[in-house]
Amino acid sequence: MKRIELIPSESKGKINRNIYGHFSEHIGGVFYDGLWVGEDSEIPNYGGFRKSIVDAMREIKPPVLRWPGGCFAETYDWRDGIGPRDKRPVTLNWWYNNDKRTESNQVGTHEFVRLCRLIGAEPYFAANITSTTPIEIRNWMEYCNAPEKLTSLAAARGDNGDAQPFAVKYWGIGNENWGGGGNMTPEMYARRYIQYATVCNIRFNDEKYIACGANAGDVAWTNRFMAEFRNAAPLYALAFHYYCGSAGDPLKFTEAEWYQMLDKAAVMDSLIKRHRSAMRTYDPDGRIKIIVDEWGCWHPGGSGPSKGYNLFEQQSTVRDAMVTALTLNIFNDHCDIVDMANVAQLCNNLHCLFLAGGDKMTVTPTYHVFKMFKGHQDARHIFCAGEKDGLTISASEKDGKYTITAGNLSYNKTEELKISLFGGKLNGKANVTVLTHEDPHAHNTFDEPDKVHPVTSVIDIGDDTVYTLPPASITLIEIA
């Protein structure tokens, strides 16, 4: 039996809802035959976007969606994606060498903002800084955010169907500029960042500029960027990427590989601490936030329904759901510095929430975790003391309701858990939702879309209530 105590007086503050953010890149099958089916498709759609995915997204309250890359962003010309769709150019894109697929530009700025509005998310644009010029990115910002008819670009936006500004708030200046985004040194990138953020600093919508952070644990990147940057331009956050990789086969992993995968995911905690301490040397007041705008498992491709046609597409099992829960709990516990995170990616790719093709769609176990954790969005973080080994757990409070999310990391052992409240009593009714499967390799397919799904029960609780956490399970406890 494990015992946990909630201590409401100890809090890291508000859990920014953007921690529950997403990422959608023009790569493989994320958009084409995934999110986007086209307006003329027989597959039900909202103006071209797959209805089943939009409807499911609305249920998880996605706060923010990053686009158009990833690496794709670094060769993207925003002008290719505006104007009549049948006149848009077909282009080569960053990923062409990997899968020989071209870019039809059917989804461009207007379509993407429409998708964000359909699902209720803020758009977060990643701007190209290696194959364009600062004025072109400033022009994109002006096109998106200038008031109606203020400038010729604002008028052009109106001519293309959207007179009102898109009010895009989040702007990433580059992507992985230590690698696919130009192989820069941190000093080179810092100079490039200052150049772009200075030129692009237009203020229609409290725009927030985000710099490319490190690759995983490369703290030298953080140190050297901060040393060169010296607050020379506006900067909201430094965004690092961490893919925890794979351990064994995505579907047939062993028990040892289950634990290896979770160990790799748990590294996120130390990454945040290490980057934070490097940043604090130069930013002692903690003004600059951390964003993790790509995270997730990266298994070998080919296990998804397209059988390898969609680049990087992979299935997600209960193990991937556990990585999701573990990572989101870590973000909750660092909500004083982590302001946003974007799981990579939304559909038909790495660590995705949806698999889709033709008229078929299934949600993955990872989707269910995002749905179960949504009560943490904008809630007040609460410290959980006690015996947490073998578990991942975090708690928050909002509108008089406690949300506790607990994962039993054991492959085959049930855990029992008692939860108490420091300085108070827990009683009344609780909703208890459990996501698990007797086989940790279980996953959803087009034929069995509900194989892994959460089950909710309502129970009477008190301080002596014992919660049973099955092996390889994620439990949401909501106490009003």
Which of 37, 344, 409, 430 binds ligand AHR (CB under 6 A)? It is: 344
Q: Least distance in Å: CB of 256 to ligand AHR?
A: 27
CB 339 within 8 A of CB 291: yes
Position 25 contacts ligand AHR (CB under 6 A)? yes
CB 356 within 8 A of CB 347: yes
Q: What residue number has its CB nearest to ligand AHR? A: 70
Position 294 contacts ligand AHR (CB under 6 A)? yes
How far, in Å, CA of 213 to CA of 215, rounded? 7
The region of 50-58, 105-113, 342-350, 419-427 touching ligand AHR under the rule CB under 6 A is 342-350
Position 214 contacts ligand AHR (CB under 6 A)? no
How far, in Å, CA of 318 to CA of 81, rounded? 38
Q: Tell me whether residue 317 or residue 345 sits nearer to ligand AHR (CB atom).
A: 345
Instruction: Find, among 187, 194, 177, the residue nearest to 234 by Cα.
Output: 194
Q: Tell me whether residue 26 or residue 275 sits nearer to ligand AHR (CB atom).
A: 26
Q: Least distance in Å: CB of 264 to ligand AHR?
A: 16
Position 71 contacts ligand AHR (CB under 6 A)? yes
Q: Tell me whether residue 143 or residue 171 sits nearer to ligand AHR (CB atom).
A: 171
Q: Least distance in Å: CB of 50 to ligand AHR?
A: 20
Q: Tell me whether residue 126 or residue 434 sits nearer to ligand AHR (CB atom).
A: 126
**What would the two tokens of residue 444 be?**
């959803």
Q: Determine phi and psi for 290, rounding to 5 degrees.
A: -105, 135
Clarify whether 176 is annotated catalytic: yes
The region of 63-71, 83-91, 302-310, 420-428 touching ligand AHR under the rule CB under 6 A is 63-71
- Options 142, 176, 415, 478, the catalytic residue: 176
Q: Tell me whether residue 345 or residue 408 sits nearer to ligand AHR (CB atom).
A: 345
Report cis status (omega within 30 of 0) of the bond before 345.
yes
Q: Least distance in Å: CB of 366 to ligand AHR?
A: 15
Question: Considering CB under 6 A, how many residues would be counted as binding ligand AHR?
Answer: 10
Q: Least distance in Å: CB of 203 to ligand AHR?
A: 28
Q: Tell me whether residue 37 or residue 344 sits nearer to ligand AHR (CB atom).
A: 344
Position 175 contacts ligand AHR (CB under 6 A)? yes
How far, in Å, CA of 363 to CA of 23, rounded? 16
Position 103 contacts ligand AHR (CB under 6 A)? no
The region of 152-160, 272-280, 344-352, 428-436 touching ligand AHR under the rule CB under 6 A is 344-352
Per-residue binding letters, 220-259, with ligand AHR (x by CB under 6 A): ----------------------------------------
Q: Tell me whether residue 21 or residue 440 sits nearer to ligand AHR (CB atom).
A: 21
The region of 66-74, 335-343, 368-376, 433-441 touching ligand AHR under the rule CB under 6 A is 66-74
Q: Tell me whether residue 72 or residue 78 sits nearer to ligand AHR (CB atom).
A: 72
Q: Least distance in Å: CB of 73 to ligand AHR?
A: 8
Among positions 109-128, residues that touch ligand AHR (CB under 6 A) are none
Which of 345, 394, 473, 475 binds ligand AHR (CB under 6 A)? It is: 345
Which of 338, 350, 384, 477 binds ligand AHR (CB under 6 A)? It is: 350
Residue identified by tokens 């900067």 is 235
Q: Least distance in Å: CB of 25 to ligand AHR?
A: 5
Q: Least distance in Å: CB of 70 to ligand AHR?
A: 3
- Options 122, 142, 294, 397, the catalytic residue: 294
Position 176 contacts ligand AHR (CB under 6 A)? yes
CB 436 within 8 A of CB 393: no
Task: Kindly report the three-state secondary structure assignment for every residue of the chain.
Answer: CEEEEEECCCCCCECCHHHHEEECCCCCCCCECCCECCCCCCCCEECCEEHHHHHHHHHHCCCEEEECCCHHHHHCCHHHHCCCHHHCCCECCCCHHHHCCCECCCCCHHHHHHHHHHHCCEEEEEECCCCCCHHHHHHHHHHHHCCCCCCHHHHHHHHCCCCCCCCCCEEEECCCCCCCCCCCCHHHHHHHHHHHHHHCCCCCCCCEEEEEEEECCCHHHHHHHHHHHCCCCCCCEEEEEEEEECCCCCCCCCHHHHHHHHHHHHHHHHHHHHHHHHHHHHCCCCCCEEEEEEEEECCCCCCCCCCCCCCCCCCCEHHHHHHHHHHHHHHHHCCCCEEEEEEECCECCCCCCEEEECCEEEECHHHHHHHHHHHHCCCEEEEEEECCCCEEEEEEEECCEEEEEEEECCCCCCEEEEEEECCCCCCEEEEEEEECCCCCCCECCCCCCCCCCCEEEEEEECCCCEEEECCCEEEEEEEC
Q: Least distance in Å: CB of 22 to ligand AHR?
A: 12
Q: Please give the positions annotated as active site.
A: 176, 294
**Residues contributing to the site for ligand AHR (CB under 6 A):** 25, 69-71, 175-176, 294, 344-345, 350
